[in-house]
Amino acid sequence: MPTPSALALTSTHAAPGDTPVSALPGVGPALADALARLGLERVQDLWFHLPLRYEDKTRVVAIADLRPGERTQVEGVVEAVERGFRYRPQLKVAISDDSLQTLVLRFFHFRRSQAEQMQPGTRLLCYGEVRQGPQGLEMVHPQYQRISGDEPAIVDELLSPIYPTTEGLGQKRLAGVIAKALALLPPDAQLELIPPALCAQHGLTSLRDALLYVHRPPPDAHIGQLTAGRHPAQQRLAFEELLTQHLSLKRMRAAVRRRHAPSLRGTGQLRERLLAGLPFGLTGAQQRVTAEIAVDIAQAKPMLRLVQGDVGSGKTIVAALAAIAAVESGQQVALMAPTELLAEQHLHHFRHWLTPLGVDVAWLAGKVAGKARQQALQRVAEGAHVVIGTHALMQEGVTFAQLGLVIVDEQHRFGVQQRLALRDKGADQGSGLVPHQLVLTATPIPRTLAMSAYADLDVSAIDELPPGRTPVQTIAISNARRAEVIERIHVACLEGRQVYWVCTLIEESEQLRAQAAEVAYAELSAALADCRIGLIHGRMKPREKQLVMDAFKAGELSVLVATTVIEVGVDVPNASLMVIENSERLGLAQLHQLRGRVGRGSVASNCVLLYQPPLGQLARERLQVMRETNDGFRIAEKDLELRGPGEVLGTRQTGQLSFRIADLARDAHLLPAVQEVGAYLLSHHPQQAEQLIVRWIGAAARYVHA
């Protein structure tokens, strides 16, 4: 029920949602500051600040029924206490309950008084995440309270929502202020921004009810459904959030389209010479995509185009042709790649193709430092035609003379933000012109996802491989048969084939990855004494890496032991055998990328997926897909099914798509309707579309036009 002061507020403001949070009772400057740090400035920001998850303290679980990974509440009596100081202070408290099982509570930070409270016989009510410890199940730093006497522990009646928060703002206080904001929720008719007819058509339930439900699930709420995000109330909100994201990308695109870009018509002279010098002719798909790009960049409006093409489909030459048109028009080109090795490969190709034509190709990676960096920066500022590098290109202090075209390779490693940052490099050159943007991605993205994640881009597909490729034969072999695999490599080397041996350690540091590669290098060097073997990993200096790559390319090395640094872009057509260690740990997209390093020439190629048994269900399915198909598109769809879009788009790392409640994999079924409603809103109710963005994206959206 609205409090009297809350009612007073509604009468003084036309829309209660626009009321500043500081007007809520009990919100002083310090709290308002903390809320502002979360982007919560107006009452409606609080309505749409949704729980990340829920804690279920409504019941007590028997210790015997605990499962690792669960967050739950248990009640038990302290059996034993142990304080250790060996490496760092530690308090271990063993509790047990009627199920006669023991649970260890482990604390690394504790006050002495806290330790002294934990006398054997004390009853505790604890809440925390259960995990498998060295001596059985345990909870690290559980929340706990002592229960006095023989009274039963008092449990909560409602699930507790857990909100994203910030330092100095506890869950209780945040929940309190959200409750005050919810008291001001207007009736649906005022709250709803999607026209009622569309809501009815797509089965969208009341927004007001949905908000109240997710903030305060009733006692009978289905915790499993809520945790999975599949409750209709959550789905209602997810729909609106996806819709808003779609609208905001569309708006970003429209905003860019209103800017001006240099028209890159070119003269065609350098282009003719480049094409004449190539040892191959363009495929039909390459010609089509090149033509689409040429039409776009000839306009005085910025191009925003994504080129999708499977590994080996020949995106690099398409990018080079676009670059040439810019150079012919007197404009600069920036080419950005996600890893240094890939950027170096591009440098190599572009110099090979363009330097003979008198085009100046400069290099600017993060590791370029000191005097070399100064010189590179100066060349860029003075108008070097093409500048190739890593994300270092976007850093402060990099100024272009006239940047006309930005090419971003392997887009799935970059986020929208980074793309925008590079675009803005062009904008600060005083002319008011922004560069054209060409994005290359090797991961074919399922259509629904592409429309959602890249709603701001036009899409071209290079859907044809250069002629003469033979599909890679793939097999999966247990590591128990490692010796056989090594023998097979031996035979291949003696036949003059070239081999990649890829070491994969995914969650560890670059240093550990390098070590794993060194171990494999030593093992193979010993086993294949009559073969020449090279080693490449991310900890080597760029020059060392280049030397090794060059030697492998020139056929001086038979085997290249590598970390996943070779995952993208590396191109050695003669290599025809690849062994991937611990393949069961990699996702499909990554396996497909890696495998794409072979099968580039006309020789029949093989890929051996070495795995460590036993295989889990997911790993088994992944390896099966890899054996069945070389089609990147099918693999991407399967990947989406098995792992979810965060992985498909590689956005876990970049944080590109972070939703409050939506989850692209779980909610992909909503996307067709989202696109339909989005198109309708933009054409019939642009103002509502704008309000949705302000509602969901809040403070950040208000600065988009700045």
* Binding residues for ligand ADP (CB under 6 A): 280, 282-283, 286, 309, 311-317, 442, 466, 571, 573, 600
Residue type, 466: P
Q: Which is nearer to ligand ADP, 310 or 637 (CB)?
A: 310
Min separation Cβ 282 and ligand ADP, Å? 5
Min separation Cβ 334 and ligand ADP, Å? 18
Min separation Cβ 630 and ligand ADP, Å? 13
Min separation Cβ 440 and ligand ADP, Å? 7
Min separation Cβ 468 and ligand ADP, Å? 7
The residues, any chain, with a CB within 8 Å of residue 411's CB and separated by 6 or more, are 306, 419, 439, 440, 441
Q: Which is nearer to Mg ion, 217 or 569 (CB)?
A: 569
Please give the residues from 562 up to 591 whose contact with Mg ion meets the rule CB under 5 A: 569
Which one of Mg ion, ligand ADP, none is in contact with 186 (Cβ closer than 5 to 8 A by kind)? none
Which one of Mg ion, ligand ADP, none is in contact with 337 (Cβ closer than 5 to 8 A by kind)? none
Which one of Mg ion, ligand ADP, none is in contact with 108 (Cβ closer than 5 to 8 A by kind)? none
Min separation Cβ 417 and ligand ADP, Å? 24
Residue type, 222: H
Which one of ligand ADP, Mg ion, none is in contact with 210 (Cβ closer than 5 to 8 A by kind)? none
Q: Which is nearer to ligand ADP, 366 or 601 (CB)?
A: 601
Q: Which is nearer to Mg ion, 435 or 569 (CB)?
A: 569
Please give the residues from 477 up to 496 whose contact with Mg ion meets the rule CB under 5 A: none
Which one of ligand ADP, Mg ion, none is in contact with 282 (Cβ closer than 5 to 8 A by kind)? ligand ADP
The strand order across the sheet containing 436-441 reads 361-364, 386-389, 332-336, 403-408, 436-441, 304-309, 458-462
Query: Helix or strand or coil: residue 474?
Result: strand
Query: Helix or strand or coil: residue 488?
Result: helix
Nearest to 60 by CA among 44, 49, 73, 79: 73
Element (H, E) at 502: strand 498-502
Which one of Mg ion, ligand ADP, none is in contact with 600 (Cβ closer than 5 to 8 A by kind)? ligand ADP
Q: Which is nearer to ligand ADP, 442 or 692 (CB)?
A: 442
Q: Rounded to 10 degrees, what is the CA torsion of 106, 110, 111, 113?
A: -20
Q: Is the sign of the CA dihedral 535, 540, 546, 547 positive or negative?
A: negative
What Cα–Cα distance (Å) separates residue 148 from each residue in 117, 121, 171, 436?
12, 11, 25, 70
Q: Which is nearer to ligand ADP, 442 or 664 (CB)?
A: 442
3-state helix, strand, coil in the chain (%, to 5): 45, 20, 35
Please give the residues from 656 up to 675 whose contact with Mg ion meets the rule CB under 5 A: none
Which one of ligand ADP, Mg ion, none is in contact with 161 (Cβ closer than 5 to 8 A by kind)? none
Helix residue ranges, H only, 334-415: 340-354, 370-382
Q: Which is nearer to ligand ADP, 362 or 568 (CB)?
A: 568
Q: Please state, in angstroms and rounded to a whole number, the distance separating the CA atoms of residues 609 and 600.
A: 18
* Contact call for residues 206 and 188 (beta carbons, < 8 A): yes
Categorise residue 73: left if φ over 0, alpha if ψ from -120 to 50, beta otherwise: beta
Min separation Cβ 644 and ligand ADP, Å? 25
Q: Does 312 bind Mg ion (CB under 5 A)?
A: no
Q: Which is nearer to Mg ion, 337 or 380 (CB)?
A: 337
Min separation Cβ 635 and ligand ADP, Å? 14
Q: Please state, in angstroms and rounded to a whole number, the distance separating the CA atoms of residues 112 and 401.
A: 64
Q: Please state, in angstroms and rounded to a whole number, the distance separating the CA atoms of residues 329 and 413.
A: 30
Place of tokens 């989005």: 678
Q: Please state, in angstroms and rounded to a whole number, the distance separating the CA atoms of residues 550 and 288.
A: 32
Q: Which is nearer to Mg ion, 283 or 448 (CB)?
A: 283
Min separation Cβ 297 and ligand ADP, Å? 19
Please give the residues from 168 up to 197 whose contact with Mg ion meets the rule CB under 5 A: none
Q: Which residue is nearest to ligand ADP (CB)?
A: 314
Q: Which is nearer to ligand ADP, 103 or 325 (CB)?
A: 325
Min separation Cβ 18 and ligand ADP, Å? 49
Q: How many residues does the chain have?
A: 706
Q: Please state, in angstroms and rounded to a whole number, the distance separating the CA atoms of residues 504 and 598.
A: 17
Which one of Mg ion, ligand ADP, none is in contact with 209 (Cβ closer than 5 to 8 A by kind)? none
First and final CA of the chain: distance in angstroms? 39
Q: Please state, in angstroms and rounded to a whole number, the distance separating the CA atoms of residues 424 and 433.
A: 10
Q: Is the sign of the CA dihedral 384, 388, 392, 394 positive or negative?
A: positive
Min separation Cβ 439 and Mg ion, Å? 12
* Contact call for residues 562 and 517 (beta carbons, < 8 A): yes
Q: Which is nearer to ligand ADP, 45 or 639 (CB)?
A: 639
Min separation Cβ 466 and ligand ADP, Å? 3
Instruction: Choose the stretch contacting Mg ion; rule: CB under 5 A; options: 192-200, 302-310, 561-569, 697-705.
Output: 561-569
Which one of ligand ADP, Mg ion, none is in contact with 571 (Cβ closer than 5 to 8 A by kind)? ligand ADP
Q: Which is nearer to ligand ADP, 133 or 466 (CB)?
A: 466
Min separation Cβ 15 and ligand ADP, Å? 51
Which one of ligand ADP, Mg ion, none is in contact with 128 (Cβ closer than 5 to 8 A by kind)? none
Q: Please state, in angstroms and rounded to a whole number, the distance separating the CA atoms of residues 324 and 332.
A: 10
Min separation Cβ 347 and ligand ADP, Å? 13
Most distant CA pair in the chain, distance = 92
* Contact call for residues 158 and 218 (beta carbons, < 8 A): yes
∠ Cα 518 521 527 (to 5°) = 145
Which one of ligand ADP, Mg ion, none is in contact with 317 (Cβ closer than 5 to 8 A by kind)? ligand ADP
Q: Which is nearer to ligand ADP, 285 or 671 (CB)?
A: 285
Q: Which is nearer to ligand ADP, 307 or 689 (CB)?
A: 307
Categorise residue 141: left if φ over 0, alpha if ψ from -120 to 50, beta otherwise: left
Write each residue from 520 to 559 as x if it is in contact with Mg ion (CB under 5 A), else as -, in one continuous string: ----------------------------------------
Which one of Mg ion, ligand ADP, none is in contact with 466 (Cβ closer than 5 to 8 A by kind)? ligand ADP
Task: Concatenate the DSSP letters of all residues of 258-298 into one string.
Answer: HSB-------SHHHHHHHHH-SSPPPHHHHHHHHHHHHHHT
Which one of Mg ion, ligand ADP, none is in contact with 286 (Cβ closer than 5 to 8 A by kind)? ligand ADP
Pairing of strands 90-96, 71-84: antiparallel
Q: Using CB under 5 A, list all residues that contact Mg ion.
A: 569
